[in-house]
Amino acid sequence: MQASRSGNELAQSQRMTVSASWLDLVQWDADGLVPAIAQEAGSGTVLTLAWMNREALEATAASGLAHYWSRSRGRLWQKGEKSGHAQAVREIRLDCDNDAILLVVEQHGGIACHTGRHRCFYQRLEDGNWRAVEPVLKDPRTIYAEK
């Protein structure tokens, strides 16, 4: 005979099952990561490409704020946690191979890049050289100053 479970236990179990299924569909790479594009709602500007592990994607969906996995720092990171330049998530999309994420976001402060630019993709190939073609909107020293 099956052990009886409280309503709470059952609800939690069902939530976890639901949660696991959409996260399990993602084809995480050998390091447990997928690339995640952030595109600005409205303008359509491609702001950043960052990386997510399972925890980052789950936290993003749960909180409505973009979370990524920092490969250089080896830790989960909420975009804007230091700069204030958070990304409020309007949509989460997955591609046909289930191995790339697209976030449609509202970019707080209008600055996605740690260099103080609107977006990270500010270098354009011109005559065999990468040329910075977008202005620095705010000095990074100001963005990351202790508050």
**Which spans of this chain sit near its own copies (rule: CB under 8 A)?**
18-19, 21-22, 25, 35, 37, 39, 43-46, 48-49, 61, 91-98, 100, 102, 113-115, 117, 120-125, 128-130
Q: Which is nearer to its own copies, 4 or 130 (by Cβ)?
A: 130
Q: Which is nearer to its own copies, 6 or 129 (by Cβ)?
A: 129
Q: Which is nearer to its own copies, 76 or 100 (by Cβ)?
A: 100
What residues contact 80, with CB distance under 8 A and at least 6 apart? 65, 86, 87, 108, 109
Nearest approach in angstroms of CB 86 to its own copies is: 18
Nearest approach in angstroms of CB 90 to its own copies is: 10
Q: Residue 103's closest CA among 60, 71, 137?
A: 60
Q: Which two tokens stand for residue 107?
A: 């970019």
Q: Which is nearer to its own copies, 1 or 31 (by Cβ)?
A: 31
Q: Which two tokens stand for residue 79?
A: 């975009």
Q: Which is nearer to its own copies, 3 or 112 (by Cβ)?
A: 112
Nearest approach in angstroms of CB 117 to its own copies is: 8
Report the largest interatomic distance among the alpha carbons of the chain, rounded to a whole angstrom. Answer: 75
At 125, the amino acid letter reads L
Place of tokens 């209008």: 110
Return the HEC string of 24-58.
HCCCCCCCCCEEEEEEECCCCCEEEEEEECHHHHH
Nearest approach in angstroms of CB 2 to its own copies is: 25
Nearest approach in angstroms of CB 145 to its own copies is: 19
